[in-house]
Amino acid sequence: MENLNTNETRQFDCSRGCVVERTDEGELKCSYRQGCCKLEVYDWLPGVIQEKYKNYFEVRFKNTRKGIYVNSSGQTVKMGDLVIVEAANGHDLGIVTLEGPVVTRQMICKKINPETAGLKRIYRKAKLYDIEKWQEAISREHETMIRARQIAAELGLEMKIGDVEFQGDGTKAIFYYIADGRVDFRQLIKVFAEEFRIRIEMKQIGARQEAGLIGGLGVCGRELCCSNYISSFQSITTAAAKCQDLSLNPQKLAGQCG
């Protein structure tokens, strides 16, 4: 989370697309900051209601992780709301970033059939207590990542831990890592669990997925495509480079996204 304001009580969390601040009374407030999210989908049909799919919403978490959830809370949910959602263990907290007919288009694009996909549920809107706990978990992410890298190096594992994401209730963390070969991290998970006192999920990602998580600017001066809009990565051949009269140097072809 990065502080971009002279007022220390206000912080812009660009990894989750929100602004976090404390009021003069000490109350914590978190609001959605549209346009700050990776892989953002523009709602070009605002205000249009599609009765059949009115309870389906896109919920965003950290960086490029997001999913379609069904509202079973009975509460009125709209874009920008912080909601408590179903997780494999416990619950998670995310921000509603898309509603209406565009969600239906997203489901079609991702080949999600709401009748058979077994979509997870939105339990309710987040309360102040939930947001406080969420922010407390987020504050642990950076130091956990640094310590996790140290532990992996001490165990002599050929892997790079690129990011750590805590679940909203603070009971679980996802460790995103890159490795060229197969990694036996049974001992690593045991050490992590003892060190951090949480449930551990190891998730292997590729170089382009890591670039999407971290973000950055390409040589074109624009945001990296894998962070901005690409979620399905195709193989790049030298034929494409020849067609564009580019250098055939493999390192240059790989670029920042690998």
CA–CA dist 72, 129 (Å, integer): 21
Q: What angle do CA 130, 132, 134 make, to 5 degrees?
A: 70
Please identify which residue in the block is written with the tokens 């950076």.
142
pTM score: 0.82
Are the C-beta atoms of residues 103 and 180 closer than 8 Å to each other?
no
67, burial (CB in 10 Å: exposed 0-12, middle 13-18, buried 19+) = middle
Range list for CATH 3.30.300 in the chain: 140-205
Question: pLDDT truncated to tens, each residue of the chain (258 aa)?
Answer: 544 444 557 888 888 888 888 887 778 888 888 777 888 888 888 878 778 888 999 999 998 899 999 998 888 999 999 999 999 888 999 999 999 899 988 888 888 888 888 899 999 999 999 999 999 999 999 999 999 999 999 988 888 898 999 999 999 999 999 888 788 888 889 999 899 999 999 998 887 778 777 777 877 788 777 777 776 666 667 777 777 776 676 666 666 666
140-205, CATH topology level: GMP Synthetase; Chain A, domain 3 (3.30.300)
